[in-house]
Structure 1
Amino acid sequence: MIMRPYSFLIAFVLILSVSACTEIINQVPPSALTETTFFKTANDAEAAVTASYDAIQGDDPRWIVWGDARCDNLEVPVDIIGITDPTVLEFTQDNISTSSTYATWNKFFVSINRVNNILAKVPAIQDPSINAVRDRILGEAYFLRAFNYFFLTRLWGAVPLVLEPTISLNVDLKVSRVPAEVVLDQIVADLKEAESKLPVSYSANLDTRGRATKGAAQALLARVYLWKSSYNKTNEWQSVVDYTTKVIASPVYSLAPGASYASIFTAKNTAESIWELQYNYNNQELNTLVRLFIPRSTKVQTGGEQILIPSKKIENAFVNGDLRKAGAIFYSDSLSTYKNVRSVAKYQGTIVGASRFSDSNFIILRLADVILMKAEAQAQLGKVTEAIDLLNTIRKRAGLPNTTATTKEAVLIAIEEERFIELCFEGHRWYDLLRTGRVKAVLNTDKKALLPVHINDILINPNLLPQNPGY
């Protein structure tokens, strides 16, 4: 089913004996566990959900390669630097190999199997201390399963849908793929369960940062309905409005001031952020996405590789006076090997003295995105005035005048352009163009909609055939 047969196995020693992400929960899973001794206490359940987050953190730039490298806000600086990553180049040129290291789905399925075990085992835990946290842990598990499957179906379309834990190799793991529509229905069901069980917020303690909340479930539900409405043509725009309204009305979230736009990406877990993947150099939790963008040999020790740079198109899209530009793009300094090169500013890592650490968080959900989702849904419902007001909220924060768009069609294009600028380098652009059917119109070329199923997966499980179109 997946790249390696043991990836889908809950071999407890392999899956739950990982180092916990203390930014998510201040707990280290036990190092030697068995099926008969685990899932007995509330601490076991906490350790299991920690391991489920850990599986999706990863340490590679796949989020940006998938969501932005195929689009028009990033480019490979071959003419400037002359060095690039051939795997990234495959994506920018739409020449993705069936053996590409970025065309693998095993990390998602590892996380899915971990949460499936939580959902199967935690309800039966008898430890009295579980009563205070059981619903929350189950809510996190439902949220994470939905999150994993949403990425899977947007990237690969039809995928294996497994809702029970795999605890033994003595079972048939050669599961077939099911239609994306079926997977999306399960995602919605899981997120509604998550919404009902998750807390509105947590304490300010470090060990709760990065946990899913009720707002995260609502925001992800809005994004799923947005995808279904535009890509699958299911016309569920009102559901987008309903769930975005819940998030916007929450006192937990607020837009950062325009002058503090950069702080969204440097301060970590700001009031604008709804859910972000956590990294902390003190705990050796590093995000190599940082090195993907940092210039080579800067005055700050430990430079980067600068595999991708902002495109001229996105640079020019920031008009004079846009307060967001400095928080999105900077230019390499005079001490860099390659001077005055456009660079992504959203992932700078932590700078301590003369050292830079690759530990920027990766934001999955934030309030500005939710506001623009609601604007798009309102426009699609014919409520153009409401859509314009929401769009202008984002423009006002950026220090810009109100939009000049007035018709439904013009407002939708204006929202698309605002998402291009507001959310650049955050992994949204490809999915936005794909779901609205505007890939060719915007990029001036056809591109394959889906990633290939990795050749190793097919060799292990021929039931994954047929291969996705174009490979």
Structure 2
Amino acid sequence: MTRFLIYIFLLSILSLSSCKEVLEPPPRDLRIDDLVLKRAQDVPAVRVGLYSSFRAITQYTVVAGDFMSDYVRYNGTFGDYREFGTKQITTTNGDVSAMWGYIYNTVYVANFILERLPDLAGVQPAAKKQLLGEAHFLRGLANFYGANTYGDIPKVTTTDQVTNRNIPRAAKADILASVLEDFQYALTNLTTDQTEGAAYANQNTVRAALARYYLYQKNWVQAEQFASQVIDSKVYTLEPDFKTIVFNNFPKESIFEMGYTQNDANSPLLNNLLVTRREMIPSEQLIQALASAESKDRLATISFDATKQRGNDNGWTVRKYGTATDGNSNVVVFRLAEMYLIRAEARAQQGKLAGANGAVSDINVLRARAKAANVSATNQADILATVERERQYELAFEGHRWYDLVRTGRAQAVMSAFSPNWNARYERWPVPQTEIQRNPALKGAQNPGY
């Protein structure tokens, strides 16, 4: 077979220093020969390739969701992270380019499967149905992250190289409509089987994704409905001790998470950034929040070491991301606690505040696990503010904060108080400059302010 690059309008080869390559090895070009789907025997390897492609996105959702927010202070030497710490993001930021590239790598692999699997002989119908559902689901989730990170993005639906090199940005609403279509297909076709655990997608995984999707869309009824379906399935249970969430992969409440081993080239990224090198350290604002009486046991997300306290270093470190041998290197995509928080917010927005089916009840489930006092708020505005704080305590460094502030319209108020450099343009990442240079259809289509 002729070997040629399958760039999705040219997947960027990141220009990184040799020092940064220790943290973030540049992705190799993906070639057609790396994806073979000619026989039934090829299906398992292609399936693993699909999940591996998506997994690469998830570390960057933490970078986007938490490094762009009021959670961190810059404490290192790398320029890309200085931009996040000082809130001065540029179009040449390597992480901005990396996330874009990994999103479209996942979209490509999903499209490859969707184009070739239906006509492949010898594959059991159940296996074919499952993989087609997974391809739709992960393509949808990749595009969901893309639209909520960059805004309008190209809609890539083919593996044709010529087509993909010249695709303009589609409206965010159009991308999200395609996400919903992919999720709905996946919900119909994925299995209900839980034997593969949280490592692979099933119907509950899609329901969790739909709960988050509808929350972002402000469709409170649907957000409540899908969150309730996940909660009521009784497949997942809250860990009694919050430290289990911090220090263990695949806890009982995990719905979907991306696992790593010692042999994974890109698995050290978050550990090195947050723990080993401590390029980014918890901000004083976050430390105070996690140390509050409301947060209680959620303080376990970070820890203090006086020996690290020197110069501008406050001595605090994020604990969630160890090495593969530490047993807590995975990146959580969905877990049960988020479903309670989604349902609490959706219920509060509908005026369902008190009682067994009210927002306060859902918040108190998590407060009880954290050994904190029950909610005292009684009116809608106060309860919604409580939900925002609970998301801060419960989901810190799982990649939610910046996205939450943007979707609720709170980014300008919170972030301008946190950083004098904050600007409204930072509610979206820029389109990577390398992509604009390589894709003619993106010229003149940069996000405002960049």
TM range (shorter): 0.7 to 0.9
1:34 Cα deviation after fit: 8.6
SS of 1:251's equivalent? Answer: coil
Q: 1:313 to 1:283 in 2, by over 3 A?
A: closer
Map 1:269-348 → 2, pairs under 5 A: 269-281=250-262, 286-294=267-275, 304-317=276-289, 318-320=291-293, 322-332=295-305, 334=307, 341-348=315-322
Q: Deviations over 1:296-325 (max 9, x none)?
A: xxxxxxxx1001111222222232485533
CA RMSD of aligned residues (A): 2.7
SS of 1:425's equivalent? Answer: coil
Q: 1:34 to 1:422 in 2, by over 3 A?
A: closer
Matched, 1:389 2:361: yes
1:188 maps to which residue? Answer: 180
Matched, 1:425 2:414: no
TM-score, normalising length: structure 2: 0.85
CA distance in 2, matches of 1:170, 1:442: 44
Amino acid at match of 1:245: S
1:184 Cα deviation after fit: 0.6
Q: 1:285 to 1:103 in 2, by over 3 A?
A: closer
Q: Which runs of 5+ in 1 are unaligned?
A: 12-30, 78-82, 230-235, 295-303
- The count of residues paired between Structure 1 and Structure 2 equals 414
1:454 Cα deviation after fit: 1.3
CA distance in 2, matches of 1:60, 1:244: 21
Q: Deviations over 1:101-128 (max 9, x none)?
A: 112211111110110111121111110x
Q: 1:59 touches 1:288 (CA, 8 Å); kept in 2?
A: no
Q: 1:375 touches 1:390 (CA, 8 Å); kept in 2?
A: yes
2:64 maps to which residue? Answer: 66
TM-score, normalising length: structure 1: 0.81
1:232 maps to which residue? Answer: none
1:66 Cα deviation after fit: 0.7
CA distance in 2, matches of 1:70, 1:284: 25
1:218 Cα deviation after fit: 0.7
SS of 1:155's equivalent? Answer: helix
CA distance in 1, matches of 2:56, 2:316: 26
SS of 1:324's equivalent? Answer: helix
1:40 maps to which residue? Answer: 38
Q: 1:248 to 1:49 in 2, by over 3 A?
A: same
CA distance in 1, matches of 2:412, 2:201: 35
1:40 Cα deviation after fit: 3.2
Q: 1:245 touches 1:374 (CA, 8 Å); kept in 2?
A: yes
CA distance in 2, matches of 1:176, 1:201: 39
1:163 Cα deviation after fit: 1.7
1:266 maps to which residue? Answer: 247
CA distance in 2, matches of 1:381, 1:109: 36
CA distance in 2, matches of 1:441, 1:109: 32
Map 1:365-384 → 2, pairs under 5 A: 365-384=334-353
Q: Which residue of the other structure, out of 180, 186, 199, is the alignment partner of 2:191? A: 199
Q: Which has the higher helix share?
A: 2
Q: 1:322 to 1:433 in 2, by over 3 A?
A: closer
Map 1:166-245 → 2, pairs under 5 A: 166=160, 169-171=161-163, 173-203=165-195, 210-229=199-218, 236-245=219-228
Q: 1:447 to 1:5 in 2, by over 3 A?
A: farther
1:108 maps to which residue? Answer: 103
Q: 1:136 touches 1:199 (CA, 8 Å); kept in 2?
A: yes
2:149 maps to which residue? Answer: 155
Q: Percent identity?
A: 29
1:62 Cα deviation after fit: 2.5
Q: 2:344 touches 2:360 (CA, 8 Å); kept in 1?
A: yes
Q: 2:198 touches 2:254 (CA, 8 Å); kept in 1?
A: no
